[in-house]
Amino acid sequence: MSDVPQIGPDGTLRLDLARIARWISPGSRVLDLGCGDGALLAHLRDEKQVVGAGVELNDDHVIASVRRGVHVIQQNLEEGLALFGDGQFDTVVLSKTLQSMHHTEHILREMARVARFGIVSFPNFGYWTHGWSILRGHMPVTGEMPYQWYDTPNIHLCTLRDFERLAASLALRIVDLATFNTRREISLLPEWRCTLAVYRFESNHHCPSSREN
């Protein structure tokens, strides 16, 4: 659902999406929620022979996805994933959209229902400059949260620990985490230094005997 281009200035897949692509096994079934212009699904199809589908509401993004040859369904994610059956996919992706969902728990439960693995990314509200902005009396405005308080679509901001606590309450087992600061992946003190977090989780409803790479 994010309007941030999926292809970077150098013509390659955006760094966080490239990391997501590395977590997805060749030939698997992938559902991309809020798929934007379909660049991630097109990349997975061409590079990993993934069978993919996207869900997108924006008219222009739907058209762009179709032009890439991506199968896309035009639908509001707030309406849920009732169109998809239990375990229909291997991985479901929700990139830079979780923080704008009204029903956060519901969409995470639905992701766990339709796929064994879920991948979500969101801006980290715990980034250190956000606290400095609040101390100065202002809501933070950054690259990952570029909106003013009165026009932001981000209604459910959280920190890394907030998300991990929610995932545990929903029986979602976190298996991977990647954290980014602007255009770099970082690992040192991510709770304070990262602007964007990307989690991969596995539903405890699925057997843990095998795992995607």
How many residues are present in the chain?
Answer: 213
Q: What is the pTM of this model?
A: 0.87
What domains, with CATH codes, occur in the chain?
A: 15-203 (3.40.50.150)
Residue 180: both structure tokens together: 């980014």
Question: Could you tell me the pLDDT band of residue 119, with boundaries at 50, 70 and 90?
Answer: very high
DSSP track, the chain:
---S-SB-TTSSBPHHHHHHHHTS-TT-EEEEET-TTSHHHHHHHHHH--EEEEEE--HHHHHHHHHTT--EEE--GGG-STTS-TT-EEEEEEES-GGG-S-HHHHHHHHHHHEEEEEEEEEBTT-HHHHHHHHTTS----SSS-S-TTT-S--S-B-HHHHHHHHHHTTEEEEEEEEEETTEEE-SSHHHH-SEEEEEEEETTS-TTS---
Judge whether residue 213 has pLDDT over 50: no
Question: Could you tell me the pLDDT band of residue 9, with boundaries at 50, 70 and 90?
Answer: low
Mean pLDDT check: name the lowest of 15-24, 89-98, 120-129, 134-143.
134-143
**What mean pLDDT value characterizes the chain?**
87
Tens digit of each residue's pLDDT (9 = 90 or more) over 149-205:
566 666 788 999 999 999 999 999 999 999 999 879 999 999 989 999 999 999 876
Q: What is the mean pLDDT of residues 46-52?
A: 97
Tens digit of each residue's pLDDT (9 = 90 or more) over 101-113:
999 999 999 999 9
Res 157: pLDDT: 85
Measured CA to CA, the distance from residue 212 to residue 62 in angstroms comes to 29
Res 86: pLDDT: 96
